[in-house]
């Protein structure tokens, strides 16, 4: 275990919980920061609290960022909109969300002496969100370090993984059941397998089915540093 302090951007969903489980094994001091931005699936805040308590995370900070609802119009902050995913960029994309979250998380990291931010973004099985791509993450980490005069690394353990490989990682960490039953990915706020209809639920279920159908092959296809 490394004697470092890290900050996990934590929503209580499959990806961020998998990142948290990995961080708890790897680092001595782990802080979680959860954002309340009036999201459609706002139950994720209570899920994040419950998971942090269950996993004995001693530092969990919840930050309200109401500005996103005031500034943007999308299906995650405007609850009256139907979720649509047939456009190049689906209407569940919240413009500036990761820019804002990572900026605020870096300020928090500065205060607690952490040089590493961990986020569960992924460009392999992503929803065509531009702020989930590695080129954005690298550019933003550089800008944050320059602006703070403090070294900030944004770690993205899932960036190159398929959703099936994320399930494999959860299993390898010994928490497949917890991820399957106690995390919240569903845009409609249903814990576990969710509504089964929204894009997030479909992606999650497809990944699980692919993993279950090819357990060993999926595991062997993961990067060696994650095995």
Condensed to tens digits (0 to 9), the pLDDT of residues 100-111 reads: 999 999 999 999
Q: Region 86-98: what's the mean pLDDT?
A: 75
pLDDT at 124: 75
Lowest mean pLDDT among 29-43, 64-78, 142-156: 64-78
pLDDT at 216: 62
Of 23 and 95, more confident: 23
Strands (DSSP E) contained in the chain are 2-9, 27-36, 59-64, 116-118, 153-155
CA distances from 166 to 42, 61, 122, 145, 180 (A): 23, 25, 10, 29, 12
Lowest mean pLDDT among 50-54, 91-95, 153-157, 189-193: 91-95
Strand, coil or helix: 34? strand
What does the block give as tokens for 143? 């800008």
**Side-chain half-sphere of 122: how many Cα atoms within 13 Å?**
20
Of 142 and 80, more confident: 142
List residues bridging with 62 in a β-sheet.
34
CATH number of 2-162: 3.40.50.620
In angstroms, rounded to a whole number, what is the distance separating the alpha carbons of residues 92 and 78? Answer: 10
Measure the CA angle with vertex 104, ends 102 and 107; round to 5°. Answer: 110
pLDDT at 58: 96
Q: Region 4-12: what's the mean pLDDT?
A: 97
What percent of the chain stands above pLDDT 70? 84
H or E element that contains 97: helix 97-112
Looking up tokens 């399957």 gives 180
Domain ranges of the chain: 2-162
Whether the pLDDT of residue 113 is over 90: the answer is yes
Phi, psi angle pair for 19, to nearest 5°: -65, -40
């Amino acid at each position: 275990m490394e004697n470092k302090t890290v900050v996990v951007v934590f929503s209580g969903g499959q990806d961020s919980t998998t990142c948290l489980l990995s961080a708890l094994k790897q680092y001595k001091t782990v802080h979680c920061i959860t954002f309340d931005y009036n999201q459609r699936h706002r139950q994720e805040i209570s899920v994040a609290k419950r998971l942090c308590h269950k996993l004995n995370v001693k530092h969990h900070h919840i930050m309200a960022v109401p500005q996103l609802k005031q500034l943007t119009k999308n299906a995650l902050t405007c609850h009256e909109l139907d979720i649509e995913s047939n456009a190049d960029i689906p209407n569940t994309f919240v413009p500036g969300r990761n820019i804002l979250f990572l900026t605020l998380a870096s300020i928090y990291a500065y205060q607690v002496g952490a040089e590493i931010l961990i986020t569960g973004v992924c460009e392999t099985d992503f929803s065509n969100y531009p702020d989930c791509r590695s080129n954005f993450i690298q550019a933003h980490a550089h800008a944050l370090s320059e602006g703070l005069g403090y070294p900030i690394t944004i770690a993205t353990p899932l960036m190159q993984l398929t959703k099936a490989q994320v399930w494999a990682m959860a299993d390898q960490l010994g928490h497949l059941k917890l991820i399957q039953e106690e995390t919240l990915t569903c845009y409609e706020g249903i814990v576990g397998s969710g509504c089964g209809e929204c894009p997030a639920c479909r992606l999650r279920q497809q990944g699980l089915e692919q993993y279950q159908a090819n357990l060993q092959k999926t595991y062997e296809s993961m990067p060696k540093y994650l095995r």
